Amino acid sequence: MSYTIRKVGVIGSGTMGGGIATLLAGVGIPVVLLDIAAKDTQAGDPPAKRNAIAIENIERLKKSRIPAIFHPNDLERISIGNLDDDLSRLADCDWVIEVVVEKLPIKQALMEKLEAVCKPSAIISTNTSGLSINAIAEARSEAFKRRFLGTHFFNPPRHLKLLEIIPGAHTDPALVQFMARFATDILGKGVVICKDTPNFIANRFISIAGGFGMNYAYDHGYTVEEIDLLTGPLIGRPKSGTFRLADVVGVDVLAYVAQNLYPAIPNDPQREVLRHEGITRVTEFLMQNNFLGDKAGQGFYKKVEQNGQREFWALNLRTLEYEPPQKVRFESVDKHRKTPDTGARIKALIAETDRAGTYLWHLHAFYLSYAAAMLGEIADDIPSIDNANKWGFNHELGPFEIWDAIGVRESAARMKADGYSVPVWVDDMLAAGCETFYQRDSSGAVTGVYDPQRRAYDAVLPDKNIVMLHQLRSAGKVVEENSSAALYDMGDGVCLVEFRTKANALDNDIFALIQRALERMDRGEFDGMVIGNQGEYFSAGANLFIMAMAAQNKQFAEIEQMITGGQQLMQTMRYFHKPIVTAPFGVTVGGGAEITMTGARVVAHAELYIGLVEVGVGLIPAWCGTKEMVKRIITPAMQVQNADPLPPLQKAFEQLALAKTSNSAMEAREMGFLRSVDRIVMDRSRLLAEAKRTVLELLAGGYVPTPPHKLYAAGRDAKAALHMAIYQMHQGKYASDHDAKLARHLAHILCGGDLSAPTWVDEQLFLDLEREAILSLLGEQKTLDRIQHMLTTGKPLRN
């Protein structure tokens, strides 16, 4: 049977079900979202009343602190109903996924209904986080079982990469392959194929290995704050650490998972971890008092107002009292925290003998021992266990990758000496002279992975959809570099410029390297360029420290040169005779947004938070950013006969004056940062390869840059209208004096200055106005105060 997915049914509209529905709608797939009918309603009641549960859940997703919806228009692709009245609407769905309560009889009863209503070719799946796939479909026909499988998303579905696919005993292998491709190519997920075992892979690990970490902390007198410091970014994990993560997930949820997992794994030698007396006492205390974590306002941490300041007090695991925050410091952590490579940092830390080193050694010894013991039972191969841990919990390294980094032979001997079991297959591997689980070439790319069944390495072919800059560096592909940037040869005539400053802030060295890359392209060394990196941010904008120092020293000639040079470089890039593709992701603000818009094409990750936010530091966009808003928002609107300039002016003005940023790449397109020709990639790991592919496509199509064209300058009448709005905001105390001054500068630029009538002008007029405005603002003390406050606190100052 061949499979296709053009329409999906989702049953269950809670946080997970609603999140899956909005993810699918976000990639353009129509969704039928059903939930139970509201209480005290009956057939024939108005849909708004009957479907109240699903409607309320979608409204809650709209307001979610972590955005679940890519763009408000996505909701138009979601059709809401209820299971009593609308089950038949699933009849033309190509895929139906249930996301209902984790109770086997309820899921089994639902499967009976789905078999009756869904078309014979429909894919049916469950989002269960741990119930048996085979048990859920036990009473169904053989034909149903062939098209049934588990598809376990992680919460929030939009943001967490992992999708565990769990075939049942009768699932069509072709369906498993199809769903893996669909999830990877369309949804941007990292797919791991799991066995039908309790809690599958990722949740099995977080329950057992995470439980051990808490237990060891309790037994050896570590504090909640100490453990969260040790189990966060220090070892390549999120800032939430261990106990903070428990508050985010929910203390009751973790307790429920442990309670259900324990009887389901009678042969797991580590299952007693789930019934540790001390931690059980703590969780029972928290649950009895409804201290369930973030959703209840407190859990292992509690927000406390002290002297007008908000503090996070941590629970003492022994006394069960909340205590004021303590400064946590370990000598070994101070010594090694700046080691750049995560694996090397973990190796150095576990070699230390202080409290930090001791805890981290035992945490990892258990983790690695458990991973090795579970291979073959919950997964057939090493990468599945590594990827489930990385993609499910945003860890940098999986357990076997960590084991390679710290040295398998040495650490295995130490583990045995400290009472941690090492499976026979690991001993056999070492005895055969295989020192690592992964084989890597000189660039660091994986070329083989150890297979315990064959007692040999299986070859791993390179993924042409993924480019890793550290591998290009190791392979000697760095053409040129300085302290702020590097130029790489990506092959096929394409080069790449990588930013490498703190927060990838733009400075003169970055601009100098881009200029030299353009010169190399001009000489024929390269045919096209990608601007991209693999840091935490694409770019947080200009280096404010350099600009502030120059302003404080009254070096206005140098500042003007910096601004003019930046404008000229951006314009050169924009109209360069060879294609330049920018590849932004995540935080892309200020100058980062401006350099993004230089691309002949933009290939953006879906999680793109882009904006021209300069007003927050008392400035305006002056590296062509304000001009680009005129070009992208105002000018196209005014090419329509008799168009009113105020609506597009108002849109551009509000975006800049309110420092708006996009919630996603889809919103960025509506805001004018991306165009219809620009591409959006769901999987960030594919971003640079897709950008390179776009360069090659432009070259194959005979690339010719779009020439500059006239822009619409609305003139002083439109400017007066904006000034009136600014005056009203100022009078209403919604804007400070300096806010109003900034807004007037923006209005002046957007309208083309004081032209007596609307006219079409060259781009240079707007660039001149940008430059004049920023030079004026850098002479203002209040602007310097805003810059200093941002550099000191990381937060904007309203003065």
Residues 717 and 667 in one domain: yes
Mean pLDDT of the chain: 97
Check pLDDT > 90 for residue 306.
no
Q: Say whether both 627 and 560 belong to one domain.
A: yes
Going 738 to 739 to 740 to 746, the CA torsion angle's sign is positive
Is residue 348 within 8 Å of residue 361, measured between CB atoms? Answer: no
With H, G, I as helix, E, B as strand and everything else as coil, classify residue 400.
Answer: helix
8 A C-beta contact, residue 190 and residue 398: no
Residues written for the chain: 799
Cα separation, 190 vs 184, whole angstroms: 6
> What CATH number did the domain enclosing 340 receive?
1.10.1040.50
* 147, 215: one domain: no
Task: Report the alpha-carbon distance of residue 408 to residue 130 in Å, rounded.
Answer: 31
pLDDT at res. 298:
95
pLDDT (0 to 100) of residue 454: 94
Output the pLDDT for position 307.
79
Residues 138 and 238 in one domain: no
Q: Over the stretch 220-248, which tens digit does the pLDDT of each residue have?
A: 999 999 999 999 999 999 999 999 999 99
Which of 390, 422, 454 is the C-terminal boundary of a domain? 422
Query: pLDDT class for 327, splitting at 50, 70, 90?
Result: very high
Region at 735 (left for phi over 0; alpha for psi -120 to 50; beta for the rest): beta
Residue 111 sits in a domain whose CATH number is 3.40.50.720
Kindly report the backbone phi and psi dihedral angles of residue 112, in degrees, each rounded to the nearest multiple of 5, phi listed first. -60, -40
| pLDDT greater than 90 at residue 305 | no
State how far the alpha carbon of 70 is from the alpha carbons of 241, 685, 761, in Å.
28, 19, 36
* Any domain includes 457: no
* Phi, then psi, of 23 in degrees rounded to 5: -65, -45
Q: Based on the structure, what is the number of domains in the chain?
A: 3
Residues 6+ apart with CB under 8 A from 89: 9, 32, 34, 79, 81
**Does residue 441 sit within a domain?**
no
Beta-bridge partners for 98: 11, 126
Q: Around Cβ 397, how many Cβ atoms within 10 Å? A: 19
Same domain assignment for residues 77 and 185: yes
SS3 string of 322-372?
A: EECCCCCCCHHHHHHCCCCCHHHHHHHHHCCCCHHHHHHHHHHHHHHHHHH
pLDDT for the residue 448: 98
Confidence band for 630, pLDDT divided at 50, 70 and 90: very high
Q: Among 422, 437, 461, give the residue marking a domain's end.
A: 422
Q: Is the pLDDT of residue 719 over 90?
A: yes
pLDDT digits (tens, 9 = 90+) for 561-573: 999 999 999 999 9
- Paired sense of beta strands 485-491 and 494-499, if any: antiparallel
Query: What's the per-residue H, E or C state across 247-290?
Result: HHHCHHHHHHHHHHHHHHCCCCCCHHHHHCHHHHHHHHHHHHCC
Nearest-angstrom CA–CA distance, 439 and 450: 8
pTM: 0.94
Q: Judge contact between 752 and 715, C-beta under 8 A.
A: yes
Distance between CA atoms of residues 361 and 350, nearest Å: 5
385 and 527 belong to one structural domain: no
Same-domain check for residues 45 and 144: yes
| pLDDT on residue 445 | 93
Q: Give the rounded percent of residues in the chain with a pLDDT score beyond 70.
A: 100
How much is the average pLDDT of 775-797? 94
Looking at the domain assignment, is residue 456 inside a domain?
no
Of 389, 422, 455, the position where a domain reaches its end is 422
Residue 711: burial class (beta carbons within 10 Å; 0-12, 13-18, 19+): buried
| Cα–Cα distance for residue pair 466/365, rounded to 1 Å | 31
Q: E-strand spans in 644-716?
A: 679-681, 711-713
How large is the average pLDDT for residues 348-362?
98
How far is 114 from 100, CA to CA, in rounded Å? 13
Q: How far apart are CA 488 and CA 466, in angstroms?
A: 15
Among candidates 176, 281, 279, 165, which has minimal Cα distance to 218? 279
- pLDDT single digits (tens) 9-39: 999 999 999 999 999 999 999 999 999 999 9
Domain span including residue 590 = 470-777
598 vs 586: CA distance, rounded Å? 18
Claim to verify: residue 697 and residue 570 sit in the same structural domain: yes
- Residue 799 belongs to a domain: no
Question: Is the domain of 187 the same as that of 211?
Answer: no
- Cβ neighbours of residue 422 closer than 8 Å, sequence gap 6 or more: 369, 372, 412, 415, 416
For the residues 118-139, what does the mean pLDDT come to?
97
The DSSP H or E segment spanning 319 is: none
Q: Residue 592: which CATH number?
A: 3.90.226.10
Asked whether the predicted pLDDT for residue 1 surpasses 90, the reply is: no
pLDDT at residue 312 greater than cutoff 90: yes
Contact criterion met (CB below 8 Å) for 22 and 158: yes
Q: Predicted confidence band at 287 (pLDDT cuts at 50, 70, 90)?
A: very high
Q: Any bridge partners for residue 760, and if so which?
A: 712
- pLDDT at residue 309 tops 90: no
Those residues with Cβ within 8 angstroms of residue 449's Cβ, 6 or more apart along the chain or in another chain:
381, 382, 383, 437, 438, 439, 457, 458, 460
Whether 18 and 98 share a structural domain: yes
Of 295, 266, 131, the C-alpha closest to 203 is: 131
Q: Which helix (H) or strand (E) holds 415?
A: helix 408-417
Q: Which residues of 229-267 are buried (b: 16+ CB within 10 A; e: fewer)?
A: bbbbebbbbeebbbbbbbbebbbbebbebbebbbeebee
Cα(556)–Cα(121) distance, integer angstroms: 70
Question: How confident is the model at residue 642, as a pLDDT?
Answer: 93
Element (H, E) at 53: helix 52-62
Instruction: Classify residue 795: in a domain, yes or no.
Output: no
β-strand 301-306 against 309-315: which pairing, if any? antiparallel
* pLDDT (mean) for 358-374: 98
Together in a domain, 360 and 324: yes
| Domain-located, residue 787 | no
One domain for residues 67 and 172? yes
Q: Is residue 112 part of a domain?
A: yes
pLDDT score, position 229? 98
Contact between residue 516 and residue 482 where contact means Cβ atoms under 8 Å apart: no
In a domain, 296, yes or no: yes
**Is residue 312 within a helix (H) or strand (E), and if so which, with residue range?**
strand 309-315
The answer for residues whose C-beta is within 8 angstroms of residue 34's C-beta and 6 or more apart is: 9, 10, 11, 12, 13, 54, 80, 81, 82, 83, 86, 87, 89, 90
